[in-house]
Amino acid sequence: MPEAIDTSAEQAATNVEWDLQPLVDGGGAEGVRSILAEAQTEADAFAKEYEGTIADRSPDEIAALVKQLADLSERIGRAGSYAMLAFSADTEDPANGALVADIQERASRLESALLFFELEWAAIPDEQAEKALEHDDLAFARHHLRSIRRYRDHLLSPAEERLLAETGPTGSAAWSRLHGEILSRIRVPVPGEPEAEAEPLTVILNRLSSNDREHRKAVAEAVTESLEPDLKTRAFIFNTLLQDKSIGDRLRHYPHWLSSRNLSNEASDASVQALVTAVKERYEVGRRWYRLKAKLLGLDVLSDYDRVAVVTKDDARISWNDGRDLVLDSYRSFSPDLGTAAEHFFTDNYIDAAPRQGKRGGAFCAYTVPSRHPYILMSYTGSRRDVLTLAHELGHGVQASLARPRGPFEQHTPLTVAETASVFGETLVFDRLLEQTTTPEDRLSLLAENIEGAIATVFRQVAMNDFEHRIHTARREQGELSVETFNELWRASQTEFFGDSVNVSEGYDTWWSYVPHFVNTPGYVYAYAFGQLLALSIYKRYRDTGAGFVPDYLELLAAGGSRSPEELGEIVGVDLSDPGFWHAGLDLVEELELQAEEAAYAARPELKG
């Protein structure tokens, strides 16, 4: 029989649920609506008084207006965060879905009312803008305001921008929500356990790590079968969103499907292409591991459902309490300040870690707004992977906490550096777990998981970026894409990465249809590779420098999005403008692969033959 996943109260975070009431001062859903109604009144008054006058305002007046906008942004963000987090915790509650729809509609009206400021600010002459930006009271938003002006060539007329803002909730946002709701309803029967309750898609995918190959294969087949019923609907959603983006890019004069994402990431098209090219040139690093993994599993070659299988029979289980303590101690050992910031998530109910039906899959950290604490969602079932996921999301969380003084416009970093703190925190905990290993087999298990995480984050995400490139390009050149075309483009992008190291089954062809990033944030995935390589480089500097590195790292986190990615890298001694940076980062991934190989041969000497 396959090894069961332990979701008992002892191992899982059964009662660990967040308290969202601080976001709305205890007002619940009605508090959300009250906050937004008040904000709408203020936004309408703001627009009535100042629309059409921004070019005539003095630096003092501009600073005062930006502060008013920051206050409005805070309140709108609190309400929106409550609605989206409540929906993520229980997607099956109709009240949560209705609240999200209501908030999206209200938020679009607010955005429409306030849109004029950004449009008029972007249009004023450079000299006038720079004079205003020198004002001391704009220090909290200086980089943000400069970033707005980078969009000048891609903005539409005020009337057109207002129309798009008003209709947003019934456009791409609605299709994204539908996609999420369809996925959250999917239940997959557990192979070999006819009496067991069917599991959510995000839960049963964990079973692909089983050490029983027949079970892995059966799970993969069950997933494929469960994806089939709404496949055409999901393909229609994809097609609609692809075309929606194509129209938007054309109207805004973006030269490439990824250009708008690159602009928001403060990265040039050329630099992103350099990243993608560098990673593809090193695909063999991932393939080499997959070939060794086949030997570890006693196979001639892996199949797609073998990729995340554990390579040892000993898959340690860690209770929620022990996992929490391990993560906190790792953070405290690096920096007491970091440990204190992390501890608040546990003591003040800012984590929802209980596995349950209807909960959104995956894991994330929601920054919310600077006036309130960030929140973390995950489903903890007791695996070491869950411990590392907790460490990862807490990395986001402590960065969000330390950057709160930057205010609502600069708390968030660009996506390209958003994974830095999370990967850094995960690596801290990984090193602690590695220190605790007592046998070659256990060391192999951890190192294998580490290199597989790096492969998934760097190489696999670039392969997914390649899939996105193919479908966006094909949709623009060929029109609406069939399910079969999606399948073919997915297979082509994945097999280019796998080469001869993994056999891709026919059923795997449809697995593109459940990846939420393709729907919710087109072009997002390459940022994982960017962030992983950056974080590994930063962690290497920490290992080389020691305790003297800590203040610089804390400064990096506290800076939030107040500087460009290149400037943020400079804080910790990393030069992102160096063309060799990507290959240097990939060298570190290859070093991980070699460490995993060494551990494999130490645990299984017979594999050397």
Q: What are phi and psi of 51, to 5 degrees?
A: -60, 135
Q: What are phi and psi of 365, to 5 degrees?
A: -115, 125
Q: What is the pLDDT of residues 397-451, one digit of tens each?
A: 999 999 999 999 999 998 888 889 999 999 999 999 989 888 888 888 889 888 9
Q: What is the mean pLDDT of residues 286-295?
A: 96
For the chain, what is the mean pLDDT?
A: 92
Question: How far apart are the C-alpha atoms of 38 and 33, rounded to whole Å?
Answer: 9
pLDDT band of 314, cuts 50, 70, 90 = low
104 has pLDDT over 90: no
**CA 601 from chain center: how many Å?**
34
Question: How far apart are the C-alpha atoms of 545 and 561, rounded to whole Å?
Answer: 25
C-alpha closest to that of 185 among 220, 234, 221, 219: 234
Q: What is the CATH architecture assignment of 21-166? A: Up-down Bundle (1.20)
Domain ranges in the chain?
Answer: 21-166, 320-411
Question: How far apart are the C-alpha atoms of 416 and 158, rounded to whole Å?
Answer: 30
Q: Using an 8 Å Cβ cutoff, are 135 and 62 in contact?
A: yes
Q: What pLDDT is recorded for position 333?
A: 95
Q: What pLDDT is recorded for position 105?
A: 86
Distances (CA, A) of 123 to 27, 49, 117, 128, 144: 40, 19, 10, 10, 15
Please report how the helices 269-281 and 461-478 are oriented relative to each other, as an axis angle in degrees rounded to 10: 120
DSSP code string of 236-302: HHHHHHHHHHHHHHHHTT-SSTTHHHHHHTT--HHHHHHHHHHHHHTHHHHHHHHHHHHHHTT-SSE
Longest dimension (CA), the chain: 79
580 has pLDDT over 50: yes
352 DSSP β-pair partners? 377
293 has pLDDT over 60: yes
Q: Using an 8 Å Cβ cutoff, are 370 and 406 in contact?
A: yes
Q: What pLDDT is recorded for position 9?
A: 46
Residue 190 carries which DSSP code?
Answer: -
Backbone region of residue 40 per phi and psi (left: phi > 0; alpha: psi in -120 to 50; beta: other values): alpha
Q: Using an 8 Å Cβ cutoff, are 326 and 318 in contact?
A: yes
Q: What is the pLDDT of residues 446-493, one digit of tens each?
A: 898 889 989 999 999 999 999 999 999 999 999 999 999 999 999 999
Tokens of 338: 């970091």
Percent of the chain with pLDDT over 70: 98
Tokens of 608: 């050397």
174 has pLDDT over 50: yes
